[in-house]
Amino acid sequence: MKEENQITPDVDLKQGRIYNTWRSYDSTTFFMTIWANVLDFDNPVNVNPEKIKSQFLAEFKLNQNYPNPFNPATTINYNLAQNSFVTLRIYNTLGQEVKTLVNAYQSKGFKSVSWDGKDNAGIQLSSGVYIFRIEAGDFAGSRKTVLMR
């Protein structure tokens, strides 16, 4: 008997495209299948792009940075469901803040910020795992990233 489990899909909005990826695991063959679907707002196929945009823009979300691991720089994308005061900070694995990327009131919508791997003093950080954390209104989220020198 074949038992297949679909792992919850991941959906990201990047540069006007929706990336939907999911994995399916077959426990009898120990085989993992990875599926992906990309929807382009500029060339939609049977999709109402305004409806999709409004659904994405209606929620707070912190996306995984890209590229990850990175060197020399990475981009962090996030979405604000409403106008909010936003802080986006980078921490080392000891929980010490090393960089503040955003500390301002921002209007709702899709946002993008780059990080060059430097701390608040402009000093290049060493290779390692770092955590980026956002706080916006009642929303808070964090993700890990790897800086490789």
Between 118 and 9, the higher pLDDT residue: 118
**Is it the case that residue 107 has pLDDT exceeding 90?**
yes
| pLDDT at 32 (0 to 100) | 59
- pLDDT tens sequence across 5-45: 555 566 666 666 676 666 665 556 555 566 666 666 555 55
Structure tokens at 139: 């929303």
Pinpoint the residues of the chain covered by CATH 2.60.40.4070.
Answer: 61-147
Contacts 24+ apart (CB under 8 A), 98-106: 98/125, 98/130, 101/76, 101/132, 102/134, 106/80, 106/136
Structure tokens given for 129: 């795992």
Tell me the pTM: 0.64
Strand, helix or coil for residue 111:
strand
| 27: amino acid identity, one letter | S
The number of angstroms, rounded, from the C-alpha of 66 to the middle of its chain's C-alpha atoms is 8
Burial 80-97 (b: 16+ CB within 10 A, else e): bbeebebebbbebeeeee
Question: In this predicted model, what pLDDT tens digit does every residue of 60-94 receive, in sequence order?
Answer: 889 999 999 999 999 999 999 899 999 999 999 99
Higher model confidence: residue 135 or residue 45?
Answer: 135
Overall CATH class of domain 61-147 = mainly beta
